[in-house]
A and B are shown apart, each in its own frame.
Chain A
Amino acid sequence: MVVIVGASIVPINRYYESSAEDLAFEAYKGLTGELKDRPKADVVVISSTYAELSTNSVNLANKIASYLGHQGSAVMRVEAGESGGPAVYTAFSLIKSGIADSVLLIGVEKMADQHGKTIQEYMARGLNYKDYLAGVMPVHYAALMMKKYIEVYRVDYDYFVNWPVKMHSYAVENPMAMLKFKVTPQQVKDSLVISEPIRLYDTGARGDGAAVVLLTSEEVARKYSDDLAKLQSVKGSSGDLEVSTSAMAVRDLALKLGDSVRDYYVQVHDSYSVAAAIQLEDLGLLPRGRSLTELDSVEVNFEGGLKARGYPGGATAVYQLAEIYLQLTQKFKGRTTSKEKALMISTDDLMTVAYGAKVIRE
Chain B
Amino acid sequence: MKIFPPQIWRLKEELYSIVFGKCEDCGEIMYPYRPVCRKCGSMRVTKVKSKGYGTLIRYTISYQHREGYEKLSPMIVGSVLLDEGIEIVAPISADPEEVRKGMRLQAALRKYYVDSSNGLIVYGIKFRPADQD
Contacts and interface: CB of A to CB of B under 8 A. Distances in A.
B93 to A, nearest CB: 11
B122 interface: yes
A148 B58 CA distance: 8
A198 B59 CA distance: 12
A195 B63 contact: yes
Contact of A133 (B38, B63, B113): B113
B62 A140 contact: yes
Contact of B58 (A124, A139, A144): A144
A99 interface: no
Contacts of B124: 130, 133-134
Contacts, number: 97
Given A193-B63, A194-B62, A133 B89 contact: no
Nearest to B72: A135
A147 B60 contact: yes
A198 B7 CA distance: 32
B64 A135 contact: no
A164 to B, nearest CB: 18
A136 B69 CA distance: 10
Taking residues whose C-beta sits less than 8 angstroms from the other chain, chain B's interface range is 20 to 34
B15 interface: yes
Nearest to B71: A135
B65 A243 contact: no
A195 B64 contact: yes
B37 interface: no
Contacts of A139: 62, 64
Interface in B22-72: 32, 38, 58-69, 72
B77 A144 contact: yes
Contact of B38 (A193, A197, A240): A240
Nearest to A147: B58
A20 to B, nearest CB: 22
B108 to A, nearest CB: 13
Contact of B62 (A131, A143, A151): A143
B55 to A, nearest CB: 15
Contacts of B1: 121
Contacts of B68: 135
Contacts of A137: 62, 64-66
A196 B32 CA distance: 25
Contact of A195 (B61, B91, B122): B61
Nearest to A124: B66
Contacts of A128: 32
12 contacts: A130-B14, A133-B15, A133-B113, A135-B75, A136-B77, A144-B60, A193-B63, A194-B62, A195-B63, A195-B64, A197-B60, A243-B89
A118 interface: yes
A129 interface: yes
Interface string A135-163: 11101110110011001000000000000
Taking residues whose C-beta sits less than 8 angstroms from the other chain, chain A's interface range is 20 to 34
Contact of B67 (A117, A130, A131): A117
Nearest to A244: B87
Interface in A149-191: 151
A191 B79 CA distance: 25
A134 B62 contact: no
Contact of B89 (A135, A141, A196): A141
A134 B91 contact: yes
A136 B91 contact: yes
A196 B58 CA distance: 11
Given A130-B124, A194-B62, 10 more contacts: A117-B66, A121-B1, A124-B66, A133-B113, A134-B90, A139-B62, A140-B77, A144-B58, A198-B60, A243-B87
Contacts of A144: 58-60, 77-79, 89
A134 B60 contact: no
A338 interface: no
Nearest to B87: A243
Contacts of B69: 135
A196 B79 CA distance: 14
A349 B90 CA distance: 19
A66 interface: no
Contacts of A121: 1, 66-67
A120 interface: yes
Which 7 pairs from chain A and chain B are nearest by CB? A143-B60, A195-B62, A135-B69, A140-B77, A147-B58, A117-B67, A121-B66
Given A117-B66, A135-B75, A130 B11 contact: yes
